[in-house]
Structure 1
Amino acid sequence: MSAPLGVILAGGQATRMGGGDKGRLMLGGRSLLDHVIARFDPQVLGLALNANGDAARFADLGVPVIADSIDGFAGPLAGVLAGLDWAATRGADTIVTAAADTPFFPCDLVPRLRMAAEGMAHPLALAATPDPKRGMARHPTFGLWPVALRDDLRAALTGGVRKVVQWTDQHNGQVAEFPDEAAFFNVNTPDDLIRAEAML
């Protein structure tokens, strides 16, 4: 399996933050997106940003911007599909996704996802951390996804599937366990941004 391409998921509407591009919020003098790119870029062969609307607003980042092909803000799976379609044009076998509002995710995200999916016909894995109530909490925006399943995903989305784990479970999706729950802390509200400043 060749090294994957990376796709940053920023297609949400950021309603709890009052709308706009959440990835542009500043944390420690840099945007959330800058933090994400700095962690992600060394782990992948190339990066793209999944975002909807005018792509020109991200021109300063120097990465391709890919929009959802499924209408109506269909959630993270629509961003995954956009990433898989982009990767197919680049001749890649897999992508790894990361959320645009999660500035502390692990610097070994990609190798650990790949290790979890080793030996599978279709390498598919989600990051997960310990959860006192559920035992293990999966993080559906952090995953390894095979380009070979993109048409299956397109059909699922067209058929109304929106929950990431509903689709990954159908394809024997694996779990890559990470010990630090705080690594996947995401900034959803103004209070979260204050917490992130303290964590930084």
Structure 2
Amino acid sequence: MAEAPGDIERLIELMARLPGLGPRSARRAVLVMLKKRGAVMAPLAQAMAEVAATARDCARCGNITSADLCDICRDDRRATGELCVVEDVADLWALERAGVFRGRYHVLGGVLSALDSVGPDELRIPRLAERVREERISEVILALNATVDGQTTAHYIADVLAPSGVQVTSLAQGVPIGGELDYLDDGTIGAALRARRRF
């Protein structure tokens, strides 16, 4: 059986590192791109180069943007006093897809994990406390994954924010124990956000 040339094999190996793509799926994807170089591969390569050059974290919330502030943080209509705390950008995007939250976000960049040596200073928890003070936040919604580390992080944040007097709530029904927001359907996310409760 003939092997792919070295540069194409390297592309397949890189593609196989992406979530949801194994070696066989990556090989099929690369073959499709090679067959449709002008329509698929060239525009994809250009878009990837542009994003690699311009993508950065939003200075306020941690979302991915190509400007200093993301579209959500720049939108004055979203300054509702509600701040939704999520683990990562995928969770923010999942909540946005559901279309039920009209406030602003705060991306932690992970969760507390003694096993992985991730403490509060490795996350955006100190910045969260600053935002609560600076932005007149009335409610912090903890939309963290229902995992042990997610819930440990939620309890820690609630303790950190307690002196500020801000109302701290968490997602309620709809998010199963062990579930991750990025894998839930929009209806489940919407129901969980609407039925949030005091933490």
Greater fraction of residues in helix: 2
Q: What's the TM-score, normalizing by structure 1?
A: 0.29
Higher relative contact order (CA 8 A, sep 6+): 1
Q: What's the TM-score, normalizing by structure 2?
A: 0.29
Greater fraction of residues in strand: 1
Bigger radius of gyration, 1 or 2?
A: 2
